Amino acid sequence: MRVIICGAGQVGYGIAERLVAEHNDVSLIDTSAVRIQNVRDNLDARGFVGQGSHPEVLAAAGAQDADMLIAVTLHDEVNMVACEVAHALFNVPTKIARIRSQSYLQPHYRDLFAREHLPIDVVISPEREVAETVLRRIEIPGATEIVRFADDRIVMVAIECLDDCPIINTPLLQLTDLFPDLMSTVVGVSRQGRLFIPRSADQLLAGDLAYVVSTKEQVRRTLSLFGHEEQEATRIVIAGGGNVGLYVARRIEERQNRTRVRIIEASRERAVEVAENLRRTIVLNGSALDQKLLMETDIADADLMVALTNDDQVNILSSVLAKRLGCKSNLVLINNPTYHDFTDMLGIDAHVNPRTATISRILQHVRRGRIRAVHSIEKDTAEVIEAEALETSTLVGHELRELDLPDGIRIGAIYRDGKVLSPSGSLRIKPKDRIVMFVMAKAVKQVEHLFRVSLEFF
């Protein structure tokens, strides 16, 4: 696949890194000569200095032969124009744009990105992706990562195995025997920095991070079996009233009548604007690092501190301070990947990585075959993929135990006709089944092949 990426920042570089590793033909465009030199020095990709919306730059990058354009510069307007130029002058088949400003994403303006107006096939909103991730963490406490698949009926959760976890040192096969009605499958384990797919005889150990695929109805029971009985937060303090903070607060107001939310926003003008857009949320103007202001939010009695400012250091320090003042737990937005490895020692209970959220959404559309959803985990060493089986797939008609699946793939659940099925050995895959699986990075290409659209299908 030939892909042009406009914008060589964290997201653009991260996408390029993934695509190059999978032997795609990748070109990056950025106005920064330093970033492009970094691309040339470290990736097997071409780099072009210039504006991604300029026709001559797109032409030099090979737009006339490109299969896809991914516009992820810092400027919405540049991303939109890049897609328009790619469509009008080069007829690029698939165009993806990152749009940050919420004014472009209002429901009553949904026709803006139609083919006859601004021909953008996929619009990615990082703020909304991050906000939805935060909301899932709030809704399902105890999990360090939550992703929904198959019309929200299947959930993948990452669960930390603590010292008092009741199911550690127990073979996974025995867990199936003990809880035969539990629709949960351990599909991956991260242990001391190594990620692997466990076998039925393997055991979970204290300190492991288990990736478990479950049903929406049984995810809380699954967390309970792992020793996580955390209650959903009903008193929440949000640091940062930007697009993400406002979106989270608004959705909580819509969903929960009993949850109390307070927002701390540094800008007085923005604080007034946020207050005018919310009904039951109290908005305070000031710094989230101000101990007196935190006390005014009743932080000592709060269940959760959610730090969503644009400054990683403010997010980290305010969350640590909140816990020292009595807040039960915290959830932190961290952009800089160098901080991710230090979250435990800093006293951070959970963190959200915007780069991962955005890249996962983009990969969903980059993947070949009938791939419906993708979530990247463990610094891109694996993916959880939802794919639809077609009549021509080699998987169809065979019992799971008969399938010679490549190494690095573990099926977690099957979604068929509105029902979630456990991946038992006797189950046969049928056309239109949606399969949720854990896939190591080395096996992604083989998954694409298994779910590719064959010419026989037509």
Q: SS in 3 state form for 359-399?
A: HHHHHHHHCCCCEEEEEEECCCCEEEEEEECCCCCCCECCE
The residue among 455 and 82 whose pLDDT is bigger is 82
Average pLDDT over residues 230-248: 94
Mean pLDDT of all residues belonging to the chain: 91
Separation between Cα atoms, residue 67 and residue 114, nearest integer Å: 19
pLDDT digits (tens, 9 = 90+) for 93-126: 999 999 988 788 777 776 777 666 788 888 988 8
> What is residue 457's predicted lDDT score, i.e. its pLDDT?
38
What is the pTM assigned to this prediction?
0.84
Indicate whether 256 pLDDT > 90.
no
C-alpha span between 107 and 111 (Å, rounded): 9
Percent residues over pLDDT 90 in the chain: 66
Choose between 380 and 311: higher pLDDT: 311
| 119-133, 184-198, 256-270, 367-381: range with lowest mean pLDDT | 367-381
Residue ranges and CATH numbers for the domains of the chain are 2-124 (3.40.50.720), 130-225 (3.30.70.1450), 238-324+339-351 (3.40.50.720), 357-457 (3.30.70.1450)
* 3-state SS track over the chain: CEEEEECCCHHHHHHHHHHHHCCCEEEEEECCHHHHHHHHHHCCCEEEECCCCCHHHHHHCCHHHCCEEEECCCCHHHHHHHHHHHHHHHCCCEEEEECCCHHHHCHHHHHHHCCCCCCCCEEECHHHHHHHHHHHHHHCCCCCEEEEECCCCEEEEEEECCCCCCCCCCEHHHHHHHCCCCCEEEEEEEECCEEECCCCCCECCCCCEEEEEEECCCHHHHHHHCCCCCCCCCEEEEECCCHHHHHHHHHHHHHCCCCEEEEEECCHHHHHHHHHCCCCCEEEECCCCCHHHHHHCCHHHCCEEEECCCCHHHHHHHHHHHHHCCCCEEEEECCCHHHHHHHHHHCCCEEECHHHHHHHHHHHHHCCCCEEEEEEECCCCEEEEEEECCCCCCCECCEHHHCCCCCCEEEEEEEECCEEECCCCCCEECCCCEEEEEEEHHHHHHHHHHCCCCHHHC
pLDDT at 370: 83
pLDDT band per the 50, 70, 90 thresholds, residue 453: low
Assess contact for 66 and 4: CB atoms under 8 A. yes
Q: How far apart are CA 350 and CA 365, in angstroms?
A: 28
Per-residue pLDDT band at 271 (split at 50, 70, 90): very high
pLDDT at 380: 82
Closest to 423 in 3D by CA, of 393, 401, 446, 451: 401
For residues 397-416, average pLDDT: 91
Burial of 194 by CB count in 10 Å (0-12 exposed, 13-18 middle, 19+ buried)?
exposed
**Mean pLDDT (whole number) for 45-62:** 97
Can you tell me the mean pLDDT for 69-74?
95
Assess whether pLDDT exceeds 90 at residue 287: yes
- pLDDT tens digit string along 309-356? 999 999 999 999 999 999 999 999 998 888 877 887 888 888 898 888
The pLDDT value given to residue 362: 86
Kindly give, in sequence order, each residue whose CB lies less than 8 Å from that of residue 12, ignoring residues fewer than 6 positions away. Answer: 5, 6, 28, 30, 70, 72, 73
The model's pLDDT over 141-180, given as tens digits with 9 standing for 90+, comes to 989 889 999 999 999 999 999 888 899 999 998 888 888 8
